[in-house]
Amino acid sequence: MLDLSVQRFGSRNVLDFMGRTLTYAALGESVDRAARGLQDMGVVKGTRVALCLPNTPYYPILFFAILKAGGVVVNVNPLYVERELAHLLEDSGATIIATCDIAEIHARVLKVAGQMGVKHVITCPIAGALPTLKSIAYRIFKRAEIGRAPTNARHSTFDALLEAKGAPSPVAVSPDEVAVLQYTGGTTGEPKAAMLSHANLVANADAMVVFVGGEQPHQDRVLGALPLFHVFALTTVLTYSIRTGAEMILLPRFELQQLLKTIERTKPSYFPAVPTIYAAITTAAETQKIDLSSIYACISGGAPLPAEVRIAFEAATGAKLCEGYGLSEASPIITCNPIDGLNKPGSAGLPFPGTTIEIRDREDPM
């Protein structure tokens, strides 16, 4: 999927992070170099590599690099406490972990990785992902909040990973083999890994294309305020964007005023989010002069969408806000109200394109 989009859309921007942009061609080159670096680090087919990262350019680069190197992505919430992180590393069998250099997160990852016998830790500096002036300011004013990686063979940096020479060795992978271990709380006990195959991820991305009415004649801009380590954004932001040649506008976290400024600066057309974010934007629009007119379609997930939030958001933006439903095991969307068609309040909508749903008796499921 990535290689095809690099060929088709090479000169287009694939992402915007705080004003710094990257083209599809540059993404493809970085992915190849990172994949070669991972293979030099010992990644072979089936190696589990954990990504403990906020939304930054490092995430999509490493996500696709791991897959190209033959590995399996293990998504990790950077805010997990030590116990949660230890469980995921032990359960997944991850031998490599990539994380950012935000001191609190970095120190926690280094500590737990050491305890769990993780072979390699890759540090991704936040300043290195920012535009030049913001990068300089970050290094100066956030100096006390930047973690320092030990200098030894077990610890590496993202820049060092990209110094690898040569193309990555091709790895034969079948569509039904595992691409991502996506941990989900489920209903009881510790988080469990949903095993998402390459085919699962591609099928959901293709279904997204059908859902929105096909590839757009212009370049979509997809606002990524939700974390990519969560399966909702993984599909509706990352894989959908790559599949269609859209531009991802990534925010490291949800902060309302930063989000509003980003909308006005980048003019996104498509904006998947959760009801609380839509409600916050609607409330802000009542007292602030904000241009939200670029947004034409949104998918709401993660929680039920109150009818009053949908009505108010659509009035403020002119966009269509559609409620959907999914679960990690389905990678993730299985139903959604149509963009062009009837949206029923309180309904999770119709089956997503290509989705088969069975209704069974709880008392007699067979």
* Structural domains of the chain, with CATH: 2-184 (3.40.50.980), 197-351 (3.40.50.980)
How far apart CA 153 and CA 135 sit, in angstroms, is: 27
Contact yes or no for 88/99 (Cβ under 8 A): no
pLDDT at 366 over 80: no
pLDDT of amino acid 188: 66
Question: pLDDT for 151-160, tens place per residue?
Answer: 888 999 999 9
Q: Which of 61, 99, 93 is nearest to 78 (CA)?
A: 99
299 pairs with which residues across the strands? 322
Question: pLDDT for 209-231, tens place per residue?
Answer: 888 877 776 778 999 999 999 99
How far apart CA 204 and CA 202 sit, in angstroms, is: 6
pLDDT at 150 over 90: no
Contact yes or no for 181/92 (Cβ under 8 A): yes
pTM attached to this predicted model: 0.94
List, in order, residues 6 or more apart from 67 with CB less than 8 Å away: 73, 173, 179, 198
pLDDT of amino acid 125: 96
DSSP state of 201: H
How far apart CA 89 and CA 252 sit, in angstroms, is: 23
Q: Which of 131, 78, 143 is nearest to 105 (CA)?
A: 78
How far apart CA 160 and CA 290 sit, in angstroms, is: 42
Across 334-359, average pLDDT: 87
pLDDT at 356 over 90: no
Q: Which of 332, 312, 226, 231 is nearest to 272 (CA)?
A: 226
pLDDT of amino acid 329: 87
Q: How much is the mean pLDDT over the chain? A: 93
Across 303-321, average pLDDT: 93
pLDDT of amino acid 365: 72
Query: 215: alpha, beta or left, given left = phi > 0 and alpha = psi -120 to 50?
Result: beta
52 pairs with which residues across the strands? 99
How far apart CA 61 and CA 172 sit, in angstroms, is: 20
Secondary structure of residue 180 in the 3-state scheme = strand
Question: pLDDT for 177-197, tens place per residue?
Answer: 999 999 987 666 788 999 999
Question: pLDDT for 222-266, tens place per residue?
Answer: 999 999 999 999 999 999 999 999 999 999 999 999 999 999 999
